[in-house]
């Protein structure tokens, strides 16, 4: 079964795709699986991990939203995977490698989204969610054993941010799929929350990208495929790149860093900082696993807090600090 698929890869995939048989391998060698390629094994390990399951209760944009239709890190990850596989299939790249990177790219994200990331970066001596995702799959998951993923999947997870330089074209696909997914679903969620109207989106960006989430995603994917097919790169056209940057700038100004977000960030920063200080003063409250695996108390606290879901962090605030996240809150109760 696996041999037939490896033959399919060699015959069908692009010369620029990374074939499963060409992987650089794992940090710890393992006997091969008779049914699955190495990248298929990585995909399965990530999906079955505890860190992956926690994504369903981690914030994407809106903190612990009360509506069922707002995105979480889990649904964001699913949308990234779907977009990425479409691009990879059209470009004849390795879909299994692409999928594995997509499933794992946000495993290290904090509760409360990028607000939590900025708090831990300030308190713990530096924090990047992509680096934490690598820490999760190489060390923290599986009670300190890690997932022992292939080098290419780990690299794709580490380098998935826009400033990264992944070693494979499959990793490059994830960079674009991540941005396509979050920009479009964040617009969708912001409209649902009443924070903006589709008609307010920049006209010059809409003219290029299209109207509505469906059309925008389709056009952005088609642009990448038409420009990159048969080449040793994955890229957007200058026109689409400029329009995407304009839409991203609009979202930062009107959603991510708007007045309501700044107010919520101030409260989240205050409370997460207080929780960090509590653990620093009461190290026995941090699970022993994190203390054992981390090089310092601050790293142990960072690993523990980064692993939390929004709901778990809120429960800890109630238990440790006596805070009630929802008391007097209006804008996040959608």
At 118-147, the pLDDT tens digits run: 889 988 778 999 999 999 999 999 999 999
Residue 63 has pLDDT above 80, yes or no: no
SS (H, E, C) the chain: CHHHHHHHHHHHCCCCCCCHHHCCCECCCCCCCCCCCHHHHHHHHHHCCHHHHHHHHCECCCCCCCCCCCCEHHHHHHHHHHHHHHHHHHCCCCHHHHHHHHHHCCCCCCCCHHHHHHHHHHHCCCCCHHHHHHHHHHHHCCCCCCCCCEHHHHHHHHCCCCCCCCCCHHHHHHHHHHHHHHHHHHHHHHHHCCCCCHHHCCHHHHHHHCCHHHHHHHHHHHHHHHHHCCCCCCCCCHHHHHHHHHHHHHHHHHHHCCHHHHHHHHHHHHHHHHHHHHHHHCHHHCCHHHHHHCCCHHHHHHHHHHHCCHHHHHHHHHHHHCCCCCCCCCCCCC
Query: What is the residue-averaged pLDDT of the chain?
Result: 91
pTM for the model: 0.94
- Residue 223 has what pLDDT? 98
- Residue 334 has what pLDDT? 24
- Name the band, by pLDDT with cuts 50, 70 and 90, for residue 332: very low
- Average the pLDDT over 172-182 and give the result: 98
- Average the pLDDT over 298-302 and give the result: 94
- Name the band, by pLDDT with cuts 50, 70 and 90, for residue 152: very high
- Residue 325 has what pLDDT? 62
Q: Cα Rg for the chain, rounded, in angstroms?
A: 21
Ordered by start, the domain boundaries in the chain are 48-321
- Residue 329 has what pLDDT? 42
* Spatial CA neighbour of 95 closest among 169, 23, 15, 180: 169
Q: How far from 47 is each of 161, 194, 230, CA to CA, in Å?
A: 21, 34, 31
Select the more confidently predicted residue: 91 or 192.
91
Model confidence pLDDT, tens digit, residues 20-56: 999 999 999 999 999 999 999 999 999 999 999 999 9
Q: Let me know the angle formed at the C-alpha of 147 by 142 and 151, rounded to the nearest 5 degrees.
A: 160
Can you tell me the distance from the alpha carbon of 273 to that of 320, in angstroms, rounded to the nearest whole number?
13
Can you tell me the distance from the alpha carbon of 14 to that of 263, in angstroms, rounded to the nearest whole number?
49
Model confidence pLDDT, tens digit, residues 208-244: 999 999 999 999 999 999 999 999 999 999 999 999 9
Model confidence pLDDT, tens digit, residues 270-297: 888 999 999 999 999 999 999 999 889 9
Torsion of CA 189, 191, 196, 199, to 10 degrees: 130
Fold of 48-321: Hypothetical protein af1432 (1.10.3210)
- Average the pLDDT over 93-107 and give the result: 98
- Residue 327 has what pLDDT? 53
- Residue 331 has what pLDDT? 31
């Amino acid at each position: 079964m696996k041999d037939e698929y490896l033959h399919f890869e060699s015959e069908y995939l692009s010369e620029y795709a990374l074939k499963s048989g060409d992987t650089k391998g794992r940090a710890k060698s393992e006997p091969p699986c008779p049914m699955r390629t190495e990248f298929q094994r990585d995909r399965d390990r990530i999906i079955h991990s505890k860190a992956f399951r926690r994504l369903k209760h981690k914030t994407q944009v809106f903190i612990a939203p009360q509506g069922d239709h707002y995105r979480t890190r889990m649904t964001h990850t699913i949308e990234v995977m779907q977009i990425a596989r479409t691009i990879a299939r059209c470009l004849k790249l390795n879909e299994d490698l692409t999928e594995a990177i997509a499933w794992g790219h946000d495993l290290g994200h904090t509760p409360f989204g990028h607000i939590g990331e900025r708090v831990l970066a300030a308190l713990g001596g530096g924090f990047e969610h992509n680096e934490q995702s690598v820490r999760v799959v190489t060390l923290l998951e599986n009670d300190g054993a890690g997932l022992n993923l292939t080098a290419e999947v780990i690299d794709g997870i580490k380098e998935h941010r826009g400033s990264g330089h992944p070693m494979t074209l499959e990793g490059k696909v994830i960079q674009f799929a991540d941005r396509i997914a979050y920009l479009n679903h964040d617009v969708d969620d912001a409209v649902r929350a009443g924070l903006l109207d589709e008609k307010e989106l920049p006209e010059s960006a809409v003219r290029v990208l299209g109207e509505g989430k469906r059309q925008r995603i389709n056009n952005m994917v088609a642009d990448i495929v038409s420009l990159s097919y048969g080449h040793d790169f994955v890229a957007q056209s200058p026109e689409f790149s400029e329009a995407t940057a304009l839409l991203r700038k609009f979202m930062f100004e009107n959603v991510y860093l708007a007045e309501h977000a700044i107010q919520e960030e101030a409260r989240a920063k205050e409370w997460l900082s207080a929780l960090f200080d509590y653990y620093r003063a009461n190290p026995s409250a941090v699970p022993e696993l994190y203390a054992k695996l981390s090089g310092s108390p601050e790293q142990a606290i960072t690993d523990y807090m980064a692993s939390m879901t929004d709901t778990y962090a809120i429960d800890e605030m109630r238990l440790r600090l006596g805070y009630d996240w929802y008391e007097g809150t209006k804008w996040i109760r959608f």
